[in-house]
């Protein structure tokens, strides 16, 4: 059963149609990359999957049930969202921010205490943010904030993780590391959906890609299938070349 599935969904804001007739199924244990030029509807699609937006027409299902049949607390245990904007202009410490990821479980009582403590620690270690724990969150660099926010998302321990451009603010080391973490999570059974700007990261780490253009699906398939020169060049309106990556088993996209 798909972790999340969208069927024939469309979404409009005012007179603008942001998405039309999109159907995607995301399986547990897989990394789905959503790529496409700006304004293609990537964030909108993610928003639909997160339950922030209501599809019209079409349906969004989570774990087999319509997404709007879940109450917010239930939903919070099933899916976590890393937003594009991680600015929090309030002087929480990084650790406090990560700990907020445990909120969906706080009503569970005594037994959850140790689990919460361990989960937060693990999430921070995995994201290399343990040392940032006592720093004031807004004083961190954009990259550090993203990693802390990611730790929060991991601490939420959900079967589905939705990420909106998680690597946009990271340096190369952390880009690779983050995508690696996501792959590992997927291997552990989590379904990962990430909107990615960087086509090569998408190529290297995603199992499955969806290329959006002007609100509809231009292509879907493995990176090798989707990262097609003519398609990419037409979609991005930029001549590109696709070749085999010299060191990895995936395509490499370069701008001509």
The sheet that has 216-221: what strands, in order across it? 79-82, 160-164, 191-195, 31-35, 208-213, 216-221
With binding defined as CB under 8 A, does residue 91 bind other proteins?
A: yes
For 76-109, give the DSSP string: HHHEEEE-S-----S--BHHHHHHGGGGGGGGG-
From 130, 57, 47, 115, select the one nearest 82 (Cα to Cα).
47
Segment contacting other proteins (CB under 8 A): 14-22, 109-117, 205-213, 233-241?
Answer: 109-117
Rg (CA), the chain: 18
Q: Which of residues 178-217 bind other proteins (CB under 8 A)?
A: none
Sign of CA dihedral 114, 158, 102, 132: positive
With binding defined as CB under 8 A, does residue 121 bind other proteins?
A: no
With binding defined as CB under 8 A, does residue 101 bind other proteins?
A: yes
Rounded Cα distance between 134 and 131, Å, is: 8
Question: Rounded to an integer, what is the distance from CA 187 to the centroid of its chain?
Answer: 15
Rounded Cα distance between 14 and 47, Å, is: 17
Q: Which is nearer to other proteins, 148 or 232 (CB)?
A: 148
User: What six digits make up the tokens of 175?
Assistant: 């880009």
With binding defined as CB under 8 A, does residue 134 bind other proteins?
A: yes
Reduced to 3 states, what is the DSSP secondary structure of residue 47?
Answer: helix
Shortest spacing between CB 242 and other proteins, in angstroms: 35
Residues 209/217, Cβ–Cβ less than 8 Å: no
Q: Which is nearer to other proteins, 25 or 100 (CB)?
A: 100
Residues 240/233, Cβ–Cβ less than 8 Å: yes
Q: Rule CB under 8 A: choose which of 105, 154, 205, 208 binds other proteins.
A: 105
With binding defined as CB under 8 A, does residue 146 bind other proteins?
A: no
Q: Which is nearer to other proteins, 150 or 219 (CB)?
A: 150
With binding defined as CB under 8 A, does residue 38 bind other proteins?
A: no
Segment contacting other proteins (CB under 8 A): 101-109, 206-214, 224-232, 239-247?
Answer: 101-109
Reduced to 3 states, what is the DSSP secondary structure of residue 132?
Answer: helix
Segment contacting other proteins (CB under 8 A): 96-104, 167-175, 224-232, 239-247?
Answer: 96-104
Segment contacting other proteins (CB under 8 A): 26-34, 130-138, 193-201, 204-212?
Answer: 130-138
Task: Determine the size of the site formed for other proteins (CB under 8 A).
Answer: 44
Shortest spacing between CB 82 and other proteins, in angstroms: 9
With binding defined as CB under 8 A, does residue 109 bind other proteins?
A: yes
Reduced to 3 states, what is the DSSP secondary structure of residue 245?
Answer: coil
With binding defined as CB under 8 A, does residue 174 bind other proteins?
A: no
Q: Which of residues 58-77 bind other proteins (CB under 8 A)?
A: 71-77
- Binding interface with other proteins (CB under 8 A): 50, 52, 71-77, 79-81, 83, 85, 88-93, 95-97, 99-110, 112-114, 116-117, 134, 136, 138, 156
């Amino acid at each position: 059963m798909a972790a999340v599935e969208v069927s024939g969904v469309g979404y409009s804001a005012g007179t603008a149609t942001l998405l039309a007739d999109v159907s995607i199924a995301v399986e547990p244990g897989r990394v789905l990359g959503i790529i496409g030029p700006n304004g293609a509807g990537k964030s909108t699609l993610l928003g639909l999957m997160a339950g922030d937006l209501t599809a019209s027409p079409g349906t969004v299902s989570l774990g087999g049930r319509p997404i709007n049949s879940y109450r917010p607390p239930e939903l919070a245990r099933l899916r976590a969202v890393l937003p594009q904007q991680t600015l929090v202009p309030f002087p929480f410490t990084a650790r406090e921010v990560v700990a907020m990821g445990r909120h969906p479980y706080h009503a569970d009582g005594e037994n959850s205490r140790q689990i919460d403590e361990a989960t937060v620690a693990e999430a921070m270690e995995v994201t290399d943010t343990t040392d940032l724990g006592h720093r004031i969150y807004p004083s961190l660099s954009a990259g550090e904030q993203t990693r802390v926010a990611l730790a929060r998302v991991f601490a939420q321990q959900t079967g589905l993780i939705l990420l909106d451009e998680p690597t946009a603010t990271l340096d190369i080391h952390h880009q690779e590391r983050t995508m690696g973490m996501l792959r590992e999570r997927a291997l552990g059974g989590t379904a990962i959906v990430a909107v990615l700007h960087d086509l090569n990261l998408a190529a290297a780490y995603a199992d499955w890609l969806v290329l959006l253009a002007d609100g509809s699906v231009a292509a879907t398939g493995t990176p090798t299938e989707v990262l097609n020169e003519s398609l990419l060049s037409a979609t991005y309106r930029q001549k590109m070349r696709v070749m085999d990556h010299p060191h990895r088993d995936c395509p490499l996209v370069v701008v001509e």
